[in-house]
Structure 1
Amino acid sequence: MRVVSISVNGLARAVDQGFFAWLAGQDADVVCVQDHRMRAYEIEDLGLIPEGYEAYFIDGEKNEHGGVGIYTRHFPKAIMYGYGNELADREGRFIQADFDKVSVACVLAPCALGREDEPMGEDDLTELDHKDEFLDGFGLHLQKTLRKRRQFIFCANLQTAHHVTDASPLYHKRDFSGFLAHERAWLDRLIDELGCVDAFREINKQSGQYTWWPEQSEGARRNAGIRVDYQLLTPGIRKNILDGWIDDSTRFSDHAPVIMEYDIDIGF
């Protein structure tokens, strides 16, 4: 089973810049797309479905919320739009496909990088407060999920790097959201205490393995990157990881795809 996770920064633009051409050579079973920035009905209306795949997408109340979706070669048993968190569900930040042996979810956290102190809405929350609220709520959902017998893969742009080796020195020196102490501590709890598995780090411990080169880093495809894109697993499938890599040669987004292979039979 091959799973691709990619934050596209606008699906229509990414397709115009070669996303589907790249995907045709990947032989992926499931493709999780974050930040599509359009209405879900437009995915089909505009023909933004690669050949051989079914598409399941959720949007937010505003296109700038991003939205997430799943392309799959295999019909799922069920699709779950949202996870019961009122704000996150209104913003289209979670979708889950249940297959026979595993469930695959696609997740997008709010981004506060460069806008940490900007006010959001009328309740005196900042963009960083908004992100923190999402992470807290999603963490509670993961805590409940880890108690289930079913196995899960969460393909998530969490807008946060975990360790020093996951971010270029620029982030070590500046107070950027994405590498703040409390954000990294959230990942500590998720991975070190709750037992979620960072699939990529199970097989690759090297530094400099980045998935995003934002404008604030002034580092498009240079060394000023950060690894914010994950495939998080329930512990029961840790031993099913076969291989994985980040394809940083792509140019259809300022994020790079994360590709993982698992010894899991997705079919029925």
Structure 2
Amino acid sequence: MTSINRTAGPLTARTATGLAALLLAVPVMTACSGPMVDGSAPERRSAVLYTPDEPLNDAQLKLAAGLLQRRAESVGLYHVAAEVAGPAVRLSAGGDVTKELSGLGARGALSFRPVVAVATAGAPAVGTVPDPLRQQFSALDCAGATPPAGPEPAGAMVACGREPAAAGGGASAFVLGAAVVDGAQIAKARAFDSPLSGGWQVDLTFTASGAKAFGELTTAAAAGTGPTNQVAVVLDGTVISHPLVSSAITTGTAQITGGFDRAQATALAAQLSTDRLPTAMRASTP
């Protein structure tokens, strides 16, 4: 588990669950064939069909199409097109970019929350499980968990995550406090390859209200003892990291690092830089 200290700069979070559940890589590609009228080679294009987890009306599908197009453009794809296709959205771009197109359908709901209790790999919980959440916590099956459907609650919740290989792997079950910072308080998200962290990471810049709230969250965590000295980073209802906090962080920035390749980091940054999708959407063959 990654420790955070004042000298280390912005929050550095080690990913606590594989991103396979968040980045759906479905091999799909369509391409023109034959020469163009002017004799030049046709543009090679890739396409995916995004089907919503929950039925969307026409206005919601148009909104989703616009968001998916902006996400694709923000990761650097070119000649992007998004159109409503029945109950789904068809997203395409120039080049052989199936992986990049297929990783953009997560709803993109991010929150930072205090950790109240955690149980790893079936071990007894460390921390105090509140009575109202005790039954939900006991019923969690994080070993075979799938991403939850629908929006996460603003208040206290239970959630699953997965420890990184460096920490021994295995699924974890969490009790988390109410969301203190959410995606609406992120002013900018940027993916970059950092030689200091040893790989791709996502750099977050908070709004003024987000920076204040994040400072208060890390101040409280730094004064706690395990596991309340941890902050959970929750994406679409799943804990992707829960770093230790050793001192308050008031710089207005945070970094999420660990195990990302370029496509994963840029997709996550694109999701956090746009509004949330009406629901998660899954890629398939158009």
Which has the larger Rg?
2
Q: Do they superpose with TM above 0.5?
A: no
Structure with the higher fraction of residues in strand conformation: 2
TM-score normalized by the length of structure 2: 0.25
Larger RCO: 1 or 2 (CA < 8 Å, sep 6+): 2
